[in-house]
Each structure stands twice: as C-alpha cells, then as structure tokens.
C-alpha cells in the first residue's frame, strides 16, 4: 500500500487541512515585515514519567566485573513508527555480558504514543525486541516506502528492522549485509544519510572499540575498583554501507576513507557543515586522537579535517572524552554549529561554524559549557524550547563510574540535566534552576531524545537513564510564541528528506535546520523539524534544498501548525490542531 | 607557601628546557670542558658513598594506593596532633582531603585555616581552585581576588582569577589582571591565559603574541602551540599554522605513554605516589619550620623513595645535609638530582662548591665542567671554574681560556675582572689591562676596578690576587 504518514483522522483528533500555497523557486526573501522577537519567556519541565505507563527499566548487564561497554549503554529513538502523527519511543537495552546468562534476556522496548503522554508497550506486537547489547540507533526509510525503518548498533551483531507498514517490523539484517557481526566489536552512534545523493539512504556506523569480557581488563582509582578507561582497548574502525537500492548494502568503508580514523567513536551526527549541498559526518571520539569531521566530496570520498577545522580538540588542544554530538544553527547565521558533550572536568563544548571549514571553540565566550564541568555529559541538542526563534541547549548528565561518590564528592552518579537558554545575543544562560522540575530529576543519562510528544508545539524530552527507568519531561513555556513543525516528504530524493536543508523566514527571523537521522548520544529524534517563530503568526517563506535534488520554495504559510512539504509540489499539507 | 612550592614543582622541568637550545660556538673551551667532565663519572664513583641517613623504625613503603592513602592520613593526623592550631598543618590536611576527592571536607578545613588566620592566602587559593573545578566561576574569581589582595605575587591566584573571568565572559578584565602581573612575573600559563583572553576579544595579533610568549617561556607547552596554530589560521598565516601544528603533534606524541603489550590490571599507584611524595615533602616542611628536623628529614627521605623523580624533597635533603655538615650525603642527594634534572647545571655547581669547600680540586673542577657541559650558554659554570683555578692556584694556565668564554656568554664587568685576573696570573699583562678596560667601561663608577686598573698600569704585581670577591661589584 502507498504509505501516508498523515492520517485523515486519528485517535488524537488531528485533522488534515489541505491548503493552496504560493509556490515558486528561488524567490526573493520577503523583507518588509518587522522582526518580532518575544520577551524572555520562562521554560519549565514537568516530570510526567509516572503517568506515561512506561515500565521500561534499562540494564547495562552489569554483574560487578565492570566491563567498559556497560558505561556507554544506551541510546533511544523517538519516531512515528505507525504514522499516526504521534511520536513513539524506542528504548535500547543492554544485556548480560558474563556467563551464565539468564534464560529470560532483557530486550529493547517500543512504546506506542496514545496521546496525552500515555504510552503502551508494543514491543512484542511490533517484533522489535532485540536482545543484543544495544548501544546506538538510527531511524530512516531506507527503501522509500513511507515507513521508517530502524537500525541498531550493538556490542556484537547489529540489527536492521524493516518497517512493514502495518505496525510490525521484520529483521532483515542478514539480507542487507549490515550485521557487522564480529563478537568483539562494540558499536556506537549510527546514522542514515544519502551521502551520494542518489535518492536512497546509506548507512554510517560509528564504532567504539574492541572488547571481550575475557580480556579481564581491570582498573582501580584511589584504591577502589572502577571501570577501565577506553585507552586500554583498541579502537574499532567506523563503517559506511552504500544502499544498493534493492534491499542490500555494500560495505565501502575503505574506498570512502571512513575507516582510517583511530578514534573510539561515540555519538555522531551527519549534516552539511560546509554548506556545499552534500552531507558530511561528525563523530565524537572518547579521548585521543580527538573527534573526526569527515567532509564529503560528493563523490563518495570523505576527508577528515577535524584537526584543521578546529573540532578535534577543545581550544587548548585537548582531546576530550567526548560523548554526544549534535548540530544546529544557534546564532542563525546560516551555518550549522556543533555541540559536543564530554567527561567530567571537561567542558561540554560549543564549536561555532565560521564557514570556510573553520570552527571556533566558543564555549567560554558564550557560556555554553555552564553546568558541565563537574559531570559527565551525554545526549544533547539545540532546541528552541520557548519558540522565541533561537535555539537553546539541553544536555543530560550522569557519571559512568558507578561508585564515583566513594571517590569524588564533587560529582555524583545521578545528576539533573541542564538547560542553557539562548539569550539571542550569542550567549547562553544556565536556566536549569528555574526550569520547573528539572533540578529534581535524578538520572544517569545516556541517550536523550527531543520531540514534541503531545503535539502542542513545544519540544519534550526523553532521557534514557542507565540501570534505571527513563525520564519523560513535558515542556512548557510562559510565552505563547508561534511555532511550526515541518515534515518533509521526498519524492525523487529520499522519502523523509534526510539531509535536506530547510530555511524558514518569518519577517527578519531566518532560521535553518536539516533532517538528521541518528544523532546526539547514539540516539535518533527530530525527524519532524521544529521551528520557533517568536511573535510571528505567519511564515513568509520556506525553502527546502533536497539532498541530491533541487530547491523548492513555499510562501505565506500559517504558524502553530504541523505542515507537510512534499518535494516538487507547490502545495503544502497542514496537519494540526489550531490554537 | 607549601602550596606554591608543590605547584611550582611541575613547572620546573619545563623552564629548564630553555637551556636545551645549546650552541657550541666555543670549540676550545668545549674541548676542555668535555675532557674534564668525561672523567667525572669515574671521579665521583671513586668517592665514598655514604648511605642516606635512615631512621631505625622506618616502616615499609606502601605497596598500593590504599596503603599510601592510609599512611598519608596517619601522617596528617599525627601532624595536627603535634602541631595543634598550626595553620600550615591544617593546610596539609586540606590538601590531603582534596587529594582523596573529599572536596567538602577540604573546603571545611580551608575555612578552619581562615578562622585561625584570616590572612592565610593559601586557603583562599585552595578554595578558589575547588570552586573553579566545580564550575563556580563567580565564587572562584572572588576567592582568587581576595588571595591576590593579600599576596599580589600569587601567580596561582592570578591564573584562577583570570581563567574565571574568561569563563564569566569578561575577557577584558582578564587581560587587565594578566598584563599587569606578567610584566613582573612572566610565566607561561599566564601568557596562555592572556592569549585566550585576547582571542575572545578578537584581538588576534595580540593573542598570537601572548601564545608565542607562552611557548618561548616553556617550549614544551603543547596546548599553547595548538592555540597559537588556531590563531595563525585566523590570521591567514597558513604556513606558520602548519609548522606550529606539527610542533603540537610532536609534543603530544611524547606525552602519550608507550604501551608495552596489553596489561590487564592497572591502577593509579604510580600517579598517587607522585602526589603523595609532594604531600610528604610539604608535611616535612611544616615540621622543619617548627624545629622538628628529624621528622622533617624522615618524611623527605620517604618522599624520595615514593617518587624517584621528586626534586623538592631531594633539594631539601641536600640543603639540610649541607647545613649540618654531612657533606657526602649532600653530594649524594645532588648526584641524584643531576640524574633527575640532567639539563640543570645548578646541581653540578652545588656539587662543585661542596668539593671546592673541602679542597678537593679535581672533583670540583669536574663538577663545574659538567655544569658548563649541560648548560653551555649559561655563564655560571665558567665563572665557577675560573674562580676555582684562581683561588686554588692550580691549573691557572687554563683560567684565561675559560674566562674568555665566560665573557662571551655574559659580558659583565665582574666577568671581565675575572678575565683580567686570569691574564695577570698567567703573565699576560696586556690582556689583563684590556679586560679591565672593558670592566671599567661597563662599571665606570666602580672604585675597586679603578684601583686594580691603576695598579696594573703602574706595573705593580698583585698583592694576593686580582680576583675580586663576589661582594666587589
């Protein structure tokens, strides 16, 4: 059947309103309207986990032997698996690493969003309960059938689930050739991207290191056993799989040049960092030799320019124990900036994209590292929580040494996440203390996902907490700013518009974003793009540059809506609840 | 004061690397020096080697980190018991707590220090450092500023204050703090922070100058090379940036430990022992300050055993032995220091002085020659050699040659007088007059030099020696 991700009617009461739109390519930006910036709104979060019905409990499989893989589990994904217009949640889980293994194994869990922050577990029905050791996940419609598929990066063999379009999935790992099944391979972040612009999604798989419980590598600090550090393990090279277009993939890691980096990969994000129209790759690295920024020549070859570009290290030339990574245009200058979380004692780092393959570590200049020094920091993103037209920063915290409080009382295992509000003047302010229940959250964060779970126009947060239940945060903001959700639909290019660059102009407020698959700390979220519009009630112009395709422009669109933009179509489709 | 000493210890080896830039442009004197110093190892080996003084109740060294922590805690408790209400003893307690990750206890102890002595600078510095580590930059800046008010020379307080201001997005204030301070105390870390502050102000030329000053002061400062390369790229100096980046990589590779196979079990005992040795050394200083020399020496010896590369404990032991007339033990500690700091001539000069003081000419000459060999650009070794020849009256014929090298290294009035004395002692009156002329040109008001010159002009022989005493400048 032909998929339509946007139901005419749905249990959540959404409705489709087809509207004519002014279409046209390469039109001049409207410049007459006044830039309407909202007053400083207050952002607050409410912990609604208890009423979500989510019973998931993460395990890292630990038995006290302190295997390094346990410290980095796991990511999660938020995506609309059943096309009902509500974002669902898929949690990865760890698994026992030592023998004897229990007869009932922990498994990943899929929760269907019923609306109103109510979720129901559908893992069994959907057949996505992998029992491998889950580390990273990406979602992408690799076969362009309109249903998002799921790829999981494990310790050991990876798993590829094809979405059947009827609420179920099929494990197609063997036929795709993407298992990367070496038993000592510990995976990391993974992303779908169309690196060659041929209209179907390829797959980048970052890897962490070579590990086996039999290695018996131990460590102690101040006389107390702790987890070993990654430098004791050999790195495992990253992989790039080209989509052959008929359900199979080919490993082209070597010829593409992605297997050369010696870093121990963690979170990653694929985006057009040099504004040349193709998708590049950033992989965070846990320690030396630093992060990698692989620039795509558009022909399937990548060159690591992280060192020259200034994103391999911090401003002092130190390779961080980098964890999560995401990108966004925090200063609305048309270039995607990078945010990279890291180990205790190191700033979570903001790299400003200056253009010309040059970034500047502006952490100190902007205050974007606030709250991070005495914690290990993980999933992160640039999100406009208050819809004021600039992107704030949110990151999760939680130590990876489970007995850290015996060793260092300046930090803690559990820690609240951090909200840094964008002042609109190129700086950030730590607003966690005034963000509702945020400081009451006690999580051991790993993956953090950002999506509007209740379709109210504000981006909510889900935190996967190691060895604990997850945390679901409902977002609210005092100001009633405008917003828009954009769902891209490729027709000639990949179906979900992964990699497409979107420019939204409302008055003088001009913002960019891209659709990214697999990001943050080994997680997936945000396929549906969110833009805050401040006090603007209408959007003057939206321009979409499709990966491997052309540019489409739509004009004069309403705010407070979910809008579908279909490639090559002058019309746009509105889904949403009018406010 | 102890806090500063501990912090400075790490920087010493870096500063010494400036001496690595050797240019052997004096082949004659180098030949002489090499010839003498080549025999030094054998010469010193032939000396009796007294065992360092050991207490009979010396317990075995800790075998692991847990035992080390227990020992340090016991030593701190004993110190507090023996020296109650002693603020320096409390400082040791605060530092030991911080070392073990007990930051809350450390803060409480620093506050106790301030109750005993509200002017105790190190308490402010210690608390400022903890606040900075926790990301509490306002608090760190406030505490560091207080420390600087009490002790304007505290470079550690300055660094914390400057870095906190940078983190508070007040780089212009950081520049103000740093520039004034660096004029009087030009340290590499200060220049690095200055470079960062200028970078944040988009003053790239000034940033480059500051980073360049940092690597000039400390040529192994990898972080400063990286920062300099970034600034050079911003300035469009691509070639320079590439060269600076290459230097950064070279230094970073030297930092990475070479892994010999895959060890399965590792711990932090070695690293903790290094820090433990610093603590023991400083606890020993507290005992020394209250006259408990025996306890001080015991702790310094233990520190030396815990960390075979700890310099301050060996310097303290050498000085203590020297003052107590235990010269062979002093020589023994200085010999260890020459092995740890192979490019530092000071230890060879100390050995030479000890031998010269005990009238062992050959050994003294060998030690001074070694000082010249390890730091050929520094004048100290040549001056010591000339003085040795002239004061002992042995091998005087070598003195003029060494003195000529000396004045090329440091053309001071005093050194020209040494050359004059050397020439006079070997009958080269023309050379002596010429050298004294130079000395008088450099110090025309010096009456002693004037009298020497007049005496030489009159053709009168020296009464005893033309060698000026160190006080006759």
Q: Is A372 on the interface with B (CB under 8 A)?
A: yes
The nearest CA of chain B is from the CA of A152 a distance in Å of 30
How confident is the model over A491-511, as pLDDT tens digits? 999 999 999 999 999 999 999
With 90 as the cut, is the pLDDT of residue A178 above it?
Answer: yes
- Residue A459 vs residues A324, A430, A481, A529: alpha-carbon distances, Å: 19, 18, 13, 10
Query: In this structure, what token pair is assigned to residue A39?
Result: 């007053």
CB contact under 8 A, B169 and A367: yes
Pairwise CB contact (< 8 Å): B101 & A220 = no
- Is the pLDDT reported for residue B48 higher than 80? no
H-helix segments, B134-170: 137-150, 155-167
- 3-state DSSP assignment of residue B428: coil
pLDDT digits (tens, 9 = 90+) for A390-417: 999 999 999 999 999 999 999 999 999 9
Q: Is the pLDDT of residue A14 over 80?
A: no
Is the CB of residue A427 less than 8 Å away from at least one CB of chain B?
yes
**In this complex, do A409 and B69 lie within 8 Å of one another by their Cβ atoms?**
no
A576 has a pLDDT exceeding 60? no
Per-residue confidence at B109, pLDDT binned at 50, 70, 90? Answer: very high
Q: Report chain A residues whose CB lies below 8 A from the CB of B275.
A: none
What mean pLDDT comes out for the span B358-387? Answer: 96
Please state, in angstroms and rounded to a whole number, the distance separating the CA atoms of residues B465 and B452: 10
Hey, is the C-beta of B412 within 8 angstroms of any chain A C-beta?
no
Predicted pLDDT of residue B29: 45
Hey, is B219 helix, strand or coil?
Answer: coil
The per-residue pLDDT for range B18-33, each reduced to its tens digit, is 222 222 333 344 454 4
**Model pLDDT for residues A251-295, shown as the tens digit of each residue:** 999 999 999 988 999 999 999 999 999 999 999 999 999 999 999
Q: pLDDT per residue over B302-337, tens digit each?
A: 999 999 999 999 999 999 999 999 999 999 999 999
The interface residues of chain B toward chain A in range 63-102, judged by CB-CB distance below 8 A, are 64-66, 68-69, 100-102
Q: What percent of chain B has pLDDT over 90?
A: 79
Which is more confident, B378 or A26? B378
| A184 interfacial to chain B (CB closer than 8 Å) | no
Range A452-464 average pLDDT: 97
* Interface residue B292 vs chain A (CB under 8 A): no
Identify all chain B residues contacting A369, using CB atoms and an 8 Å cutoff: 135, 167
Mutate to test the interface with B, among A366, A410, A433 (most CBs of B within 10 A): A410
pLDDT of B257 reads: 57
Task: Give yes or no for B200 touching A (CB within 8 A).
Answer: yes
Report ipTM (2 d.p.).
0.86
pLDDT of residue A300: 87
Nearest-neighbour CA in chain B from A432: distance (Å):
15
| CB contact at 8 A, A420 and A330 | no
pLDDT band at B2 (very low <50, low <70, confident <90, very high): very low
CA distance B67 to B73: 10
d(CA B383, CA B473): 14
Show the tokens assigned to A29: 């930006």
Q: Cβ neighbours of residue B336 under 8 Å, at least 6 residues apart?
A: B304, B314
pLDDT of residue B463: 52
CA distance linking residue A69 with residue A62, whole number of Å: 9
Asked if A220 is an interface residue toward chain B (Cβ–Cβ < 8 A), one would say yes
CB contact under 8 A, B169 and A215: no
Which of B66, B127, B135 is the best residue to mutate to test the A interface, defined by the most A CB atoms within 10 Å of its own CB? B135
- Average of per-residue pLDDT values in chain A: 92
Q: Which residue of B has its CA nearest to A315?
A: B227
Chain-wide mean pLDDT for chain B?
87
Interchain proximity A218–B222, CB inside 8 Å: no
DSSP notation for B330-377: HHHHHHHHHHHSTT-HHHHHHHHHHHHHTT-HHHHHHHHHHHHHH-TT
User: Which range has the worst mean pLDDT, A325-334, B1-10, B185-194, B344-353?
Assistant: B1-10
Predicted confidence band of residue B462 (pLDDT cuts 50, 70, 90): low
What is the bridge-based pairing of β-strands A149-155 and A133-140? Answer: antiparallel
Gap between the Cα atoms of A259 and A325, Å rounded: 19
If one counts every other C-beta atom within 10 angstroms of the C-beta of residue B105, the result is 16
User: What mean pLDDT is predicted for residues A431-437?
Assistant: 97
Counting Cα atoms < 13 Å in the Cβ hemisphere of A149 gives 27
B253 confidence band (pLDDT: 50, 70, 90): confident
Band (A20; pLDDT cuts 50, 70, 90): very low
- pTM (2 d.p.): 0.86
Residues of A in contact with B101 (CB under 8 A): 222, 407-410
Under the banding of pLDDT at 50, 70 and 90, the label for residue A13 is: very low
Residue B335: phi and psi, rounded to 5, are -65, -40
Q: Give the percent of chain B with pLDDT over 70.
A: 83
Give yes or no for residue B192 having a pLDDT over 60. yes
In angstroms, what separates the C-alpha of A222 from chain B's closest C-alpha?
A: 6
B262 vs A: CB within 8 A: yes
In B, minimum Cα distance to A374 occurs at B134
Closest CA to B215 of B200, B227, B202: B227
Which one of B167, B222, B266 has the shortest CB-CB distance to A317?
Answer: B222
- What pLDDT score does A4 carry? 39
Q: What is the pLDDT of residue A15?
A: 32
């Amino acid at each position: 059947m032909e998929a339509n991700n946007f139901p005419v009617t749905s249990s959540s009461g959404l409705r489709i309103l087809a509207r004519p739109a002014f279409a046209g390519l390469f039109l001049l930006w409207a410049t007459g309207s006044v830039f309407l910036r909202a007053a400083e709104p207050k952002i607050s979060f409410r912990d609604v986990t208890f009423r979500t019905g989510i019973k998931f409990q993460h395990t890292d499989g630990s038995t006290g032997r302190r295997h390094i893989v346990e410290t980095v589990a796991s990511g999660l994904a938020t995506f609309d698996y059943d096309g009902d217009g509500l974002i669902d949640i898929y949690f990865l889980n760890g698994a026992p690493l030592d023998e004897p293994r229990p007869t009932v194994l922990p498994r990943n869990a899929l929760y269907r969003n019923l609306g109103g922050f109510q979720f129901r577990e559908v893992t069994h029905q959907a057949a996505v309960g992998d029992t491998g050791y889950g580390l990273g996940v990406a979602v992408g419609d690799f076969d362009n059938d309109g249903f998002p598929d799921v790829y999981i990066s494990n310790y050991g063999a990876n798993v590829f689930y094809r979405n059947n379009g009827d609420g179920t999935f099929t494990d197609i790992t063997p036929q795709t050739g993407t298992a990367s099944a070496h038993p000592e391979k510990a995976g990391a972040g993974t992303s779908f991207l169309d690196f060659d612009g041929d209209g179907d999604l390829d797959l980048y798989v970052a890897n962490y290191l070579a590990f086996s419980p039999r290695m018996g590598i131990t460590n102690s600090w101040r006389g107390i056993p702790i987890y070993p550090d990654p430098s004791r393990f050999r790195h495992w090279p990253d992989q790039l799989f080209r989509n052959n277009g008929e359900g199979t993939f080919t490993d082209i890691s070597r010829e593409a040049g992605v297997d050369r980096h010696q870093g121990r990969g963690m979170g990653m994000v694929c985006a057009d960092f040099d504004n040349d129209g193709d998708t590049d790759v950033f992989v965070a690295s846990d320690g030396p030799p630093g992060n990698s920024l692989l620039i795509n020549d558009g022909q399937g070859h990548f060159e690591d320019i992280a060192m020259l570009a200034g994103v391999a290290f911090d401003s002092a030339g130190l390779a961080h124990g980098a964890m999560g990574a995401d990108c966004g245009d925090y200063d609305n200058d048309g270039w995607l900036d990078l945010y990279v979380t890291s180990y205790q004692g190191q700033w979570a780092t903001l790299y400003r994209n200056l253009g010309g393959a040059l970034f500047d570590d502006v952490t100190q200049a902007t205050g974007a590292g606030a709250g991070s020094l005495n914690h290990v920091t993980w999933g992160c993103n640039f999100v406009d929580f208050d819809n004021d037209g600039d992107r704030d920063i949110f990151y999760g915290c939680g130590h990876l040494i489970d007995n850290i409080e015996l060793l260092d009382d300046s930090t803690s295992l559990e820690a609240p996440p951090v909200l840094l509000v964008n002042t609109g003047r190129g700086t950030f302010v730590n607003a966690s203390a005034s963000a509702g229940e945020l400081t009451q959250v006690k999580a051991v964060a790993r993956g953090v996902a950002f999506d509007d779970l209740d379709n109210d126009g504000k981006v909510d947060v889900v935190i996967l907490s190691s060895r604990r239940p997850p945390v679901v945060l409902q977002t609210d903001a005092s100001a009633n700013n405008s917003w828009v959700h954009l769902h891209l639909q490729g027709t000639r290019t990949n179906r979900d518009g992964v990699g497409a660059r979107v420019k939204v102009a409302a008055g003088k407020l001009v913002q960019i974003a891209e659709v990214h698959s697999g990001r943050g700390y080994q997680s997936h979220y945000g396929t549906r793009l969110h833009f805050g519009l401040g006090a603007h009630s209408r959007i003057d112009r939206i321009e979409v540059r499709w990966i491997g395709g052309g540019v489409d422009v739509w004009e004069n669109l309403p705010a407070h809506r979910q809008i579908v933009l279909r490639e090559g179509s002058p019309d746009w489709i509105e889904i949403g609840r009018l406010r | 004061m102890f806090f500063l000493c501990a912090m400075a210890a790490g920087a010493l080896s870096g500063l010494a690397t400036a001496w690595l830039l050797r240019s052997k442009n004096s082949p004659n004197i180098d030949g002489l020096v090499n010839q003498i110093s080549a025999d030094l190892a054998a010469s010193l080996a032939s000396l009796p080697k007294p065992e360092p003084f050991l207490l009979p109740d010396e317990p075995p060294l800790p075998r692991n980190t847990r035992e080390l922590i227990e020992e340090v805690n016991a030593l701190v408790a004993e110190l507090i018991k023996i020296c109650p209400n002693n603020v320096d003893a409390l400082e040791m307690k605060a530092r030991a707590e911080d070392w073990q990750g007990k930051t809350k206890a450390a803060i409480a102890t620093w506050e106790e220090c301030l109750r005993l002595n509200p002017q105790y600078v190190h308490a402010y510095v210690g608390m400022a450092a903890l606040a900075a580590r926790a990301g509490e930059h306002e608090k760190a800046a406030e505490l560091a500023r207080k420390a600087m008010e009490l002790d304007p020379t505290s470079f550690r307080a300055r660094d914390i204050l400057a870095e906190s201001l940078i983190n508070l997005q007040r780089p212009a204030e950081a520049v103000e703090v740093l520039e004034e301070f660096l004029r009087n105390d030009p340290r590499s870390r200060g220049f690095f922070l200055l470079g960062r502050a200028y970078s944040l102000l988009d003053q790239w030329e000034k940033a480059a100058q500051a980073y360049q000053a940092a690597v000039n002061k400390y040529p192994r400062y990898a972080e400063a090379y990286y920062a300099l390369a970034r600034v050079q790229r911003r300035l469009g100096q691509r070639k320079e940036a590439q060269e600076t980046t290459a230097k950064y990589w070279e230094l970073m590779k030297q930092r990475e430990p070479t892994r010999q196979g895959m060890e399965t079990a590792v711990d932090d005992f070695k690293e903790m022992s290094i820090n433990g040795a610093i603590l023991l050394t400083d606890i020993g200083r507290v005992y020394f300050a209250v006259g408990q020399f025996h306890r001080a020496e015991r702790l310094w010896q233990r520190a030396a055993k815990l960390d075979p590369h700890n310099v301050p404990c060996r310097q303290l032991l050498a000085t203590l032995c020297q003052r107590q007339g235990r010269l062979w033990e002093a020589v023994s500690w200085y010999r260890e220091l020459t092995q740890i700091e192979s490019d530092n001539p000071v230890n060879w000069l100390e050995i030479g002085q000890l031998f010269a003081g005990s009238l062992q000419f050959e050994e003294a000459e060998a030690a001074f020659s070694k000082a010249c060999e390890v730091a050929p650009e520094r004048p100290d070794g040549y001056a010591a050699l000339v003085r040795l020849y002239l004061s002992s009256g042995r091998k005087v014929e070598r003195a003029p040659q060494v003195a000529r090298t000396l004045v090329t290294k440091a053309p001071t009035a005093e050194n020209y007088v040494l050359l004059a004395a050397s020439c006079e002692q070997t009958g080269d009156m023309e050379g002596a007059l010429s050298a004294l002329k130079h000395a008088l040109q450099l110090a025309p008001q010096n009456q002693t030099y004037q009298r020497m010159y007049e005496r030489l002009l009159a053709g009168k022989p020296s009464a005893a020696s033309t060698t000026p005493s160190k006080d006759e400048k």
